[in-house]
């Protein structure tokens, strides 16, 4: 067998998003791993896009950082040009267009984008080609199968942001316990009408 074509080591992650009655919770663990090598124990995979929108990613950290910078610029330009903040749906659509336009050399990232606007809290899940799915809760990354089981079992309509925070932590901790590519702490964004609150928990 020709060793010229080695498999591409895609980084692991566990990232979740939850729509709550009063906002949105986005969270991800902190480990950055390539194959069986842990590159960093303090990677950041949750990002503030605007004052009322955030995103959380799983995949190549470089790709998610560039994508978040781009969508942040579009959100800022929209506010300058129109005098009002971009909606969560419009931000998700812009991100979808960016991902689809790069489909031949794609960003290697799965993204959850969420926030709160005039229509209330909402959450969208995007794959690396820009497919956009509206959902109430979601999990992406190598630990997603474990995390989604916790979310499926415990999510309910009317959950508060504080309850959503606890559920996100529980889902990610469950994934960390079984997924070797996830670990080392949790970064959390809590988005409400009062703005974005960031929290980091180290293990």
Is residue 88 a contact partner of residue 102, using CB atoms and an 8 Å limit? no
* Confidence check: pLDDT of 150 > 50: yes
Domains for the chain: give ranges and CATH numbers. Answer: 18-32+43-191 (3.60.20.10)
**Known catalytic residue at 109:** no
Taking all residues of the chain, what is their mean pLDDT, rounded to a whole number?
92
pLDDT tens profile 159-198: 999 999 999 999 999 999 998 888 899 999 999 999 999 9
Site of tokens 């991800």: 28
Task: Dump pLDDT digits (tens) for 81-109.
Answer: 999 999 999 999 999 999 999 999 999 99
* Residue 185 CB-half CA count within 13 A: 16
Q: Which residues contact 69 (CB under 8 A, 6 or more apart)?
A: none
Which residue in 14, 15, 109, 111 is the catalytic one?
14
- pLDDT average, residue stretch 45-72: 95
Q: How confident is the model at residue 18 (pLDDT cuts 50, 70, 90)?
A: very high
pTM: 0.91
Nearest to 80 by CA among 53, 50, 122: 50
What's the sign of the alpha-carbon dihedral 177, 198, 162, 137? negative
Burial 99-114 (b: 16+ CB within 10 A, else e): beeeeeeebbbbbbbb
């Amino acid at each position: 067998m020709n060793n010229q074509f080695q498999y591409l080591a895609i980084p692991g992650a566990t990232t979740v998003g939850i729509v709550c009655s009063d906002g949105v919770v986005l969270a991800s663990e902190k480990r950055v791993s390539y194959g069986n090598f842990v590159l960093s124990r303090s990677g950041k995979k949750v990002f503030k896009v605007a004052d009322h929108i955030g995103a959380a990613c799983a995949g190549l950290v470089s790709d998610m950082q560039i994508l978040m910078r781009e969508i942040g610029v579009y959100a800022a330009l929209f506010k300058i040009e129109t005098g009002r903040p971009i909606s969560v749906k419009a931000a998700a659509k812009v991100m979808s267009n960016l991902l689809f336009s790069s489909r031949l050399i794609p960003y290697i990232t799965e993204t959850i984008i969420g926030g709160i606007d005039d229509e209330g809290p909402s959450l969208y899940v995007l794959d690396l080609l820009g497919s956009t799915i509206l959902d109430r809760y979601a999990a992406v990354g190598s630990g997603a199968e474990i995390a989604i089981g916790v979310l499926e079992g415990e999510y309910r309509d009317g959950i508060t942001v504080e309850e959503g925070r606890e559920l996100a932590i529980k889902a990610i901790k469950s994934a960390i316990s079984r997924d070797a590519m996830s670990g080392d702490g949790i970064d959390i964004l809590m988005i409400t009408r009062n703005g974005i609150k960031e929290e980091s928990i180290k293990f």
